[in-house]
């Protein structure tokens, strides 16, 4: 079975095990390692990517289930050299501590802003509740989302 | 965390400059934080090594090598800032690289909140020496007196002449290094970079998903491996369906690995090696292992707690005694008696353990996210018999540490599997592996007694501590009683009894080791005593501290009671302590001296009828001496508060028949963003030596929340986590 995906705008076909989780496919086979493995059971959100614009947990998403889809990873969040407003805000407010969860946080936040350009604190809490940060950067994540919404 | 293993960096090795001129062509890329616009042009520049920590190129861009592992505590930014401050260069002209692992950097480690504490002076000296060499080069070149030189923003100015570091570096590198006696360091009050807010140097790479972490590394012909160990520590694989596993798609090797080395250096298990992470994870689902558990751990946590609570009701073997506690209890006007417990905890760093090893003959090359790369190298040499010079270890950024990566067992696994399979291997743990095989924060039970005289003054204190021992004689390292922990030396009559229970599994250093649990117990007893004395807990604590003085040295030096009172008073001031609160809501206070830093926290907590709580505000007052990076320091305090809230409310591992029951985040509910309170941090910046902040803001939080809950409801909390007493976060 050949599965075809578009990853960050680039067409990719594979004959690999169709059950392969998208997470391991993009990390091991496509060599995009920005998307992180944290739990494998959709509890932590570190593996969040967009499939056809919708944020999903790539650790539990088999590639066979998204054949023909458009996938955006953290590596595809910027437009060329132009960082996404969230990426800029993340740097300006020094959001990361260890940084491991941040790709997933950014992808969830980007999906939120695409739907809701001026989210309230409550909107942010709901959208970001699936993303754990073991270091506790939540207050800066919230501030950075507001900043990006304002300046984006 | 590694209080016992932290050795002082060798000043001699640090200060030795090469003398020889090492030149290499260097293109400054956008990595690190170097602002490329600061460069005069984009031409290649000669890059000149000044010392182990620093090279400067002929365009005036400095490369500073960050020696210690970055685990989220910010030292890849704050340590280079110290060098840049003394060097006299604009931060925009600095780029930072993680250093190699080499004895010239001393013991490279991230633990015990010791990086800044230990390296502050050596790194200032390294920066100052370079500055003096550049200044001397300028004076020589201009024929002007060095005494008139001013160094600022990467330029040396003497009179009307101004030369850039880039113009001076080649000459400077040829000069002899300055006499250590001639080195004049900047006064803290003259700092222009330290104390400012500086963003993490890896932030641009983090937000664009660059391969920074251990898990992101790849090498040619790299194979992937899982490693399956006994569910109960100490089990040994007896029968394994190796042939079946070997025949599975994408699997190249499967074999049993025998355990080796000092306790837990390399645990026995079953390796599955294949062509992708998914191939080995999938094959593992078919793995069937029968374990020989004769020598395995058998701890049952609930039984332990029940037994220990009976044990502490009676006296046990005494390990510390000042004055006469028994006598104080006999003559006391009031006695408070209570029993506290706290559970085992896993570290649960978000990046599951992983390591790449490539064994080729008698040499091995390793890529590892570790907190102790120097020790890791030594351990691999000891366990596998490699000569140290044949081990190359590359440190990567770590996706969290919290003390777990002080242990290097996953490095040993990668080396063992590469050695046995003959191919380069990346060992990848699953989250379940990480929960099952940790060096857990040991649980404990305390039976405490406090004696008050008729004036409500604390006159006696005793603590019967039930903890764990491997040999039946002494407690395991992180299960030890910290012998100067308050209220020792603050009360005339003090004693500690200690009863030991056997434990086979290893335990480990967990963010703010020992203090993370003791602060809950001791603040709890002291706030009970304050209440019994009819006193406000803040006033009671300040009275207890007494006159400003430095108490006898324990972990991290002796506590200065003046600085303790400083943060307690400051936290109270920030929170407007003593004000009227709305119904159902109260303030609570916690204090702890840990890792040489002083932190007091006041929390504003609302408690609802259904035992849900909302923590509205947290005020943190910290005294860690001068602050290096204000953004990073504040980050550590806020992160510690959130970690402590999370841990206090819901976190524990339950151990049954030696097996940890929790396996993933579905049963280990780390706090999510919804429950994060407003947190305000204030630093009292005494002009003393800076101390660390990765841990000290953790311990005071839980006791502060418990104090606030008591102030609302009258309910005392004696057991962690709070979920055990029916509490949860309101949503």
CATH number of B301-345+440-729: 3.30.365.10
Mean pLDDT of B395-404: 98
Would you state the CATH architecture of domain B11-206? 2-Layer Sandwich (3.30)
Name the nearest CA neighbour of B452 among B462, B460, B464: B460
Contacts of B404 in chain A (CB under 8 A): none
Alpha carbon B582 to its chain centroid, in Å, reads: 37
Interface test with B, best of A7, A81, A88, A98 (most B CBs within 10 A): A98
Residue B406: which pLDDT band, with cuts at 50, 70 and 90?
very high
Q: Do A90 and B207 touch (CB under 8 A)?
A: yes
| B723 CB burial (10 A radius; 0-12, 13-18, 19+) | middle
Structural domains of chain A ordered from first start: 3-75 (3.10.20.30), 85-151 (1.10.150.120)
DSSP state of B673: G
Residues B74 and A97: beta-carbon distance below 8 Å: yes
Q: Which residue of B has its CA nearest to A89?
A: B207
- For the stretch B50-78, pLDDT in tens is 889 999 999 999 999 999 999 999 999 99
Token digits for A31?
A: 């060599």
Mean pLDDT of B394-399: 97
Average pLDDT, chain B: 93
Instruction: Quote the minimal CA–CA distance from B160 to chain A in Å.
Output: 37
Flag whether residue A41 sits within 8 Å of chain B, measured between CB atoms: yes
Whether residue B93 is predicted with pLDDT greater than 70 in this model: the reply is yes
Residues B513 and B478: beta-carbon distance below 8 Å: yes
Q: Do B639 and A17 touch (CB under 8 A)?
A: no
Flag whether residue A27 sits within 8 Å of chain B, measured between CB atoms: yes
Q: Do B674 and A129 touch (CB under 8 A)?
A: yes
Flag whether residue A71 sits within 8 Å of chain B, measured between CB atoms: no
Report the topology of domain B214-295+353-428: Aldehyde Oxidoreductase; domain 4 (3.30.365)
Mean pLDDT of B178-191: 92
Smallest Cβ–Cβ distance between A100 and the set B218, B350, B664 belongs to: B350
Confidence (pLDDT) at B44? 67
Whether residue B332 is predicted with pLDDT greater than 50 in this model: the reply is yes
Smallest Cβ–Cβ distance between B673 and the set A75, A98, A138 belongs to: A138
Give one DSSP letter per residue of A22-55, joined into a string.
Answer: HHHIIIIIS----S--S-SSSSS-TTEEEETTEE
Smallest Cβ–Cβ distance between B216 and the set A20, A29, A33 belongs to: A33
- For the stretch B193-238, pLDDT in tens is 999 999 999 999 999 999 999 999 999 999 999 999 999 999 999 9
Q: Which residue of A has its CA nearest to B435?
A: A39
Q: Do A131 and B673 touch (CB under 8 A)?
A: yes
Q: Do A21 and B202 touch (CB under 8 A)?
A: no
Q: Do A139 and B678 touch (CB under 8 A)?
A: yes
Token digits for B400?
A: 């969290």
Confidence (pLDDT) at B278? 98
- For the stretch B565-586, pLDDT in tens is 999 999 999 999 999 999 999 9
ipTM above 0.95, yes or no: yes
Same fold, B11-206 and B301-345+440-729: yes
Whether residue B469 is predicted with pLDDT greater than 90 in this model: the reply is yes
Q: Which residue of B has its CA nearest to A49?
A: B209
- For the stretch B244-300, pLDDT in tens is 999 999 999 999 999 997 767 999 999 999 999 999 999 999 999 999 999 999 999
Flag whether residue A108 sits within 8 Å of chain B, measured between CB atoms: no
CA pair distance B696, B699, nearest whole angstrom: 6
Q: Which residue of A has its CA nearest to B199?
A: A94
Q: Do B674 and A20 touch (CB under 8 A)?
A: no
Confidence (pLDDT) at B574? 98
**How far is residue B193 from each of residues A90, B482, B627, B691, measured CA to CA in Å?**
22, 36, 11, 18
Token digits for A88?
A: 């800029």
Ranges of chain A with pLDDT below 50:
none
Q: Which residue of B has its CA nearest to A29?
A: B276
Whether residue B38 is predicted with pLDDT greater than 80 in this model: the reply is no
Residue B307: which pLDDT band, with cuts at 50, 70 and 90?
very high
Beta strands at B493-502 and B458-469: parallel, antiparallel or unpaired? parallel
Domain ranges of chain B: 11-206, 214-295+353-428, 301-345+440-729
Whether residue B514 is predicted with pLDDT greater than 60 in this model: the reply is yes
Q: Which residue of A has its CA nearest to B276?
A: A28
Residues B464 and B312: beta-carbon distance below 8 Å: yes
Contacts of A73 in chain B (CB under 8 A): 209
Whether residue B29 is predicted with pLDDT greater than 60 in this model: the reply is no
Contacts of A92 in chain B (CB under 8 A): 199
Interface test with B, best of A22, A96, A135 (most B CBs within 10 A): A135
Q: Which of A96-105, B1-10, B336-345 has the lowest mean pLDDT?
A: B1-10
Flag whether residue A143 sits within 8 Å of chain B, measured between CB atoms: no
Instruction: Quote the minimal CA–CA distance from B74 to chain A in Å.
Output: 7
Mean pLDDT of B3-7: 28
DSSP state of A83: -
Q: Do B350 and A138 touch (CB under 8 A)?
A: no
Name the nearest CA neighbour of B487 among B548, B445, B543: B543
Q: Do A94 and B352 touch (CB under 8 A)?
A: no
Flag whether residue A121 sits within 8 Å of chain B, measured between CB atoms: no
Confidence (pLDDT) at B43? 58
> What stretch of H or E contains B459?
strand B458-469
Name the nearest CA neighbour of B717 among B706, B727, B702: B706
Residues B287 and B272: beta-carbon distance below 8 Å: yes
Mean pLDDT of B292-309: 96
Q: Do B206 and A99 touch (CB under 8 A)?
A: yes
Mean pLDDT of B153-179: 96
Flag whether residue A120 sits within 8 Å of chain B, measured between CB atoms: no
How many CB pairs (< 8 A) connect A and B?
A: 190
Confidence (pLDDT) at B19? 29
Q: Do A98 and B349 touch (CB under 8 A)?
A: yes
Confidence (pLDDT) at B731? 81
pTM of the shown model: 0.94
- For the stretch B620-670, pLDDT in tens is 999 999 999 999 999 999 999 999 999 999 999 999 999 999 999 999 999
């Amino acid at each position: 079975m050949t599965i075809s995906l578009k990853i960050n705008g680039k067409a990719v076909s594979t004959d690999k095990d169709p059950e392969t989780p998208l997470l391991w496919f993009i990390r091991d086979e496509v060599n995009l390692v920005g998307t992180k493995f944290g739990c494998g059971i959709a509890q932590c959100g570190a593996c969040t990517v967009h499939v056809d614009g919708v944020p999903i947990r790539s650790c539990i998403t088999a590639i066979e289930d998204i054949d023909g889809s458009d996938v955006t990873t953290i590596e595809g969040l910027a437009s060329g050299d132009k960082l996404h407003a969230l990426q800029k805000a993340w740097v300006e407010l020094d959001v990361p501590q260890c940084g491991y969860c941040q790709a997933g946080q950014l992808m969830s936040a980007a999906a939120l802003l695409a739907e809701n350009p001026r989210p309230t604190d409550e909107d942010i809490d709901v959208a970001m509740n699936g993303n754990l940060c073991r270091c506790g950067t939540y207050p800066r994540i919230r501030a950075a989302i507001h900043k990006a919404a304002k300046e984006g | 965390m590694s209080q016992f293993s932290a050795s002082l960096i060798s000043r001699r090795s640090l200060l030795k400059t090469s003398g020889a001129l090492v030149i290499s062509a260097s293109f400054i890329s956008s990595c690190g934080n170097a602002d490329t616009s600061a460069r005069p042009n984009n031409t290649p520049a000669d890059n000149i090594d000044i010392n182990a920590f620093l090279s400067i190129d002929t365009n005036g861009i400095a490369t500073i090598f960050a020696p210690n592992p970055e685990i989220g505590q910010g030292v890849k930014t704050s340590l280079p800032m110290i060098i840049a401050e003394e060097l006299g260069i604009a931060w925009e002209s600095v780029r930072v690289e993680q250093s190699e692992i080499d004895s010239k950097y001393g013991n490279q480690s991230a633990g015990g909140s010791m990086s800044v504490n230990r390296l502050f002076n050596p790194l200032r000296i390294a920066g100052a020496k370079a500055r003096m060499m550049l200044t001397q080069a300028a004076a020589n070149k201009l024929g002007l007196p060095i005494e008139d030189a001013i160094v600022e923003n990467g330029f040396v100015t003497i009179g009307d002449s101004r030369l850039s570091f880039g113009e001076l570096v080649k000459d400077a590198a040829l000069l002899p290094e300055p006499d250590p006696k001639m080195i004049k360091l900047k006064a803290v009050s003259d700092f222009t970079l330290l104390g400012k807010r500086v963003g993490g140097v890896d932030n641009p790479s983090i937000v664009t998903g660059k391969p920074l972490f251990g898990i992101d590394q790849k090498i040619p012909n790299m194979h992937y491996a899982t490693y399956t160990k006994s569910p109960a520590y100490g089990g040994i694989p007896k029968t394994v369906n190796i042939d079946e596993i070997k025949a599975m798609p994408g699997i190249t090797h499967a074999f049993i690995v025998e355990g080796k080395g000092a306790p837990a250096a390399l645990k026995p298990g079953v390796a599955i090696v294949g062509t992708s992470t998914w191939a080995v994870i999938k094959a593992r689902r078919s793995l069937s292992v029968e374990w020989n558990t004769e020598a395995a751990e058998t701890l049952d946590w609930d039984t332990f707690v029940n037994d220990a609570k009976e044990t502490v009701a009676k006296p046990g073997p005494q390990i510390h005694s000042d004055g006469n506690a028994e006598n104080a209890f006999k003559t006391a006007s009031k006695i408070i008696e209570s029993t506290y417990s706290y559970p085992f905890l896993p570290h649960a760093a978000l990046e599951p353990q992983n390591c790449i090893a490539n064994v080729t003959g008698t040499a091995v090359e390793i890529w590892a996210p570790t907190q102790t790369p120097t020790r890791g190298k030594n351990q691999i040499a000891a366990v596998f018999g490699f000569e140290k010079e044949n081990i190359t270890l590359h440190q990567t950024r770590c996706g969290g540490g919290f003390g777990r990566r002080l242990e290097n067992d996953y490095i040993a696994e990668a080396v063992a599997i590469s050695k046995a399979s003959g191919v380069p291997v990346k060992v990848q743990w699953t989250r379940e592996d990480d929960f099952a095989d940790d060096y857990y924060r040991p649980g404990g039970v305390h039976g405490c007694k406090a004696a008050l005289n008729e004036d409500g003054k604390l006159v006696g204190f005793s603590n019967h501590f039930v903890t764990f021992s491997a040999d039946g004689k002494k407690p395991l390292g992180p299960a030890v009683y910290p012998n100067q922990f308050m209220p020792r030396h603050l009360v005339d009559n003090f004693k500690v009894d200690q009863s030991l229970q056997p434990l086979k599994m290893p335990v480990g250093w967990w963010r703010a080791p020992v203090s993370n649990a003791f602060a809950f117990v001791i603040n709890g007893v002291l706030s009970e005593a304050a209440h019994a004395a009819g006193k406000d807990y803040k006033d009671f604590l300040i009275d207890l501290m007494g006159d400003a003085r430095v108490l006898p040295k324990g972990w991290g030096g002796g506590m200065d009671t003046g600085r303790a009172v400083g943060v307690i008073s400051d936290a109270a001031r920030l929170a407007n302590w003593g004000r009227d609160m709305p119904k159902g809501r109260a303030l609570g206070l916690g204090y702890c001296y840990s890792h040489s830093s002083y932190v007091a926290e006041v929390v504003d907590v609302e408690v609802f009828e259904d035992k849900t709580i909302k923590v509205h505000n947290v005020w943190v007052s910290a005294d860690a001496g001068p602050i290096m990076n204000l953004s990073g320091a504040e980050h550590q305090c806020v992160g510690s508060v959130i970690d402590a809230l999370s841990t206090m409310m819901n976190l524990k591992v339950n151990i049954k028949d030696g097996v940890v029951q929790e396996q993933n985040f579905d049963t280990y509910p780390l706090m999510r963003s919804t429950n994060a309170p407003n947190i305000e941090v204030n630093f009292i910046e005494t002009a003393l030596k800076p101390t660390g902040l990765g841990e000290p803001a953790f311990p005071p939080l839980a006791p502060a929340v418990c104090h606030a809950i008591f102030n609302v409801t009258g309910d005392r909390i004696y057991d962690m986590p709070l979920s055990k007493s029916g509490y949860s976060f309101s949503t």
